[in-house]
Amino acid sequence: MLDFKEELKKFKKSTEFDDIQDELANIDITDMNDVVFKILKELGNK
C-alpha cells in the first residue's frame, strides 16, 4: 500500500524565475578543494 500523504510531502516547490537572483546570490559552490584548503590552512595556522 502507498502512503499518499507521506509521498506528497516529498514534493517540494521548484525555484521560480523571480527567485533566481536570490538563489544565485546564496548558492554554495564550496567543493572538496576548498574544504581541504581550509583544513590545511587551519593546520598551518596551528
Partner 1 sequence: MELSERKNIRISNAFFNLALEYAEQNNLYYSAILLKKSILFDKKNIDSRNLLGLIYYTEGEIVDALIQWVVSNNIVKNNNLATYFIDCVQNDPNYNQLKDSIKYYNAAIDDINQERNDLAMMHLNKAIELNPQYVKALTLLALLQLQIKENIKAGSNLYLAQKIDNGNFVINKLMNYALKVTNKKEIRDKKLSNLYSKKKIEEDDAIIPNKYIKISTSQKIIFSLIGVFVGFLCYHKIVLPMIRISYESNSTSQIITYADRLNDLNKEINDLTKEKNELQNNYDYVNTRLQNYEEQNKNFTFRFETLNSVISLFDQGQIAEAARLYISIENKEQITDETLVALLNAARSRIEGLGSEKLTNLGTDSWNANNKDQAISYYTLSLNLDPDNPETMFLLARLYQSLNRIEEANSLFDKVIAEHPDSNYARRSKEARGY
Residues that bind partner 1 (CB under 8 A): 2, 4, 7-8, 10-17, 19-20, 23-24, 27, 29-34, 36
- Minimum CB distance to partner 1, residue 44 (Å): 13
Q: How far is the CB of 26 from partner 1 (least distance, A)?
A: 10
Question: Residues 23, 15: contact at Cβ < 8 Å?
Answer: yes
Nearer CB in complex with partner 1: 4/45: 4
Q: Give Cβ neighbours of residue 15 (< 8 Å, ≥ 6 apart).
A: 23
Specify the long-range contacts of residues 5-9, CB closer than 8 Å, at least 24 apart: none
